[in-house]
Amino acid sequence: MSDVLPHDVLPQPQHVASQEGAFFDLGPDTALVAGEGTGHTERWLRATLGAATGLPLAPAADGGGGVVRLALDPELPAEGYRLVVAPEGVDLTGGDPAGLFWGAQTLRQLLGPDAFRRAPLPGRRWRLPLVRVEDVPRFRWRGLMLDVARHFMPKDGVLRYLDLMAAHKLNVLHFHLTDDQGWRIEIERHPKLTETGSWRSRTKYGHRASPLWEDKPHGGHYTQDDIREIVAYAAERHITVVPEIDVPGHSQAAIAAYPELGNTDVIDTTALSVWDTWGVCPNVLAPTEHTLRFYEGVFEEVLELFPSEFVHIGGDECPKDQWRASATAQARIEELGLTDEDELQAWFIQHFDTWLTARGRRLIGWDEILEGGLAEGAAVASWRGYAGGVAAARAGHDVVMCPEQQVYLNFREDGGEDEPVPIAYVRTLEDVYRFEPVPAELTPQERGHVIGTQANLWTEVTENQDRVDYQLFPRLAAFAEVAWSSLPAPADRDYAAFERRMAAHYRRLDALGVAYRPPTGPLPWQRRPGVLGRPIDGPPPQL
């Protein structure tokens, strides 16, 4: 039996009206009747709730067990839904298939935490409170950036995270697939990218200043069929996977595999291996025609695998020292009539901006890409505070707000000495809950360019699934509410009410097997004693 109250739903719905003390019971005779266009949610409910409850949820009514009806109503807004639980059954209606699916997530929450298990527990009674929920998301981009380059996450872990995202009504997985420390996606025309670039011989343990090393190979990659499976699994949950192939910086793994991609007139690129430590790597791509053609080939295969509107090209943290020393790079600057190396990076980004636009896709990159001007359809992920997002919106570009000051969830949640490998500023659960994605200084028209927000998780010191869970939860739940719900201004948000909803939500996370950070602090096995982090003292920078 559920003891979850209707107001315990997370993210907080727009409108909830309930009838106290009255219920509808799901039982062996309860039918699941699906209207036209509702097949994805029907299959998900039958598989997921069927496994948790042991109920058959037959496709037609057979007796007096009531009915769960699924339907679409185009009069409802996109991604919106209406859930009505009455004494005779449930009516779940979506404005589109995605909205219906998000409504199914709310239905699951109302059944109680045991509805999040994979097999039925004995003696459970499946009871729904009589309620009417009307809901619609605030943003159309509600994302999680998952870095699988620094530490590889096996395919099953990615699928698990897609389920966790769906449970929180998040709908964009920003998939960070390449970096200095590893190349994670099979490219058939360039096999060395994974043969050589997908593994490193050892790994720095802790912050880059740590004296500790894990002296064993680390690696892994996704085959193209793995990627197809991930994309299809996400699509069934109304999640878009946006791939990131990082250029022209963060590219040592690619250069280790194909040395001619690097600045060969400056360093011996044949001596490079996949980077085994953290920080900003000095080895960047050479601005040559060969490099452009090589990455065009990479992106051609990426576009075949990912149907997403957006493709992320990185564009951040590209040191220019090698270009300054490179006769080839300097000749390119002169040939193109550019002023300096910053304009050379802008030229590099603009090339792929134009290339993607010609193929019906849209480029998105970190806010450094603004520095050289962008094509009309390009978008910006604003990570260095609000400034990049404000500039992009004022220039007419769409923006995804993900400022490190609030939603870099690799940053520590607490300042205690027992936090595992503490990194950067403290970002508490309440800090994340009070994050506001839309800068106040934007005009109403400019605010329309803020298409959404995402939380980012970089995995330098997050070496396995439990550590990823610890860094993301419970803060990802707070972020999900910010991204979905129409909340008051940050200072007016009722954090105490959110904490009450989290008390119920922790039990759902327990049922899902999420190794979250407990409110009382890390459990003994979650700590990493003696592993150096990079705590930064003093107040955090202002947004």
Active site residues: 179, 250, 317
* Placement of tokens 């619609």 in the chain: 136
DSSP codes of every residue in 459-509: -TT--SHHHHHHHHTTHHHHHHHHHHS----GGG--HHHHHHHHHHHHHHH
Q: How far is CA 509 from CA 119, 432, 513, in A?
A: 16, 18, 6
Q: Where on the phi/psi map is residue 404: left (φ > 0), alpha (ψ -120 to 50), or beta?
A: alpha
In the block, residue with structure tokens 């360093």: 267
Edge-to-edge strand ranges of the sheet holding 31-34: 15-26, 126-135, 81-86, 89-94, 67-72, 31-34
**Which residues lie across from 413 on neighbouring strands?**
none
What whole-number distance in Å separates Cα of residue 389 and Cα of residue 482? 17
| Burial (0-12, 13-18, 19+ Cβ within 10 Å), 320 | middle
CA–CA distance, 507 with 54 (Å, rounded to integer): 20
- Which residues make Cβ contacts (< 8 Å) with residue 40, sequence separation at least 6? 97, 101, 236, 238
Strand pairing of 218-219 and 199-200? antiparallel
Q: How far, in Å, CA of 390 to CA of 407, rounded?
A: 17
Residues 6 or more apart in contact with residue 162 via CB below 8 angstroms: 173, 230, 233, 234, 237, 239
- Identity at 47, one-letter amino acid code: A
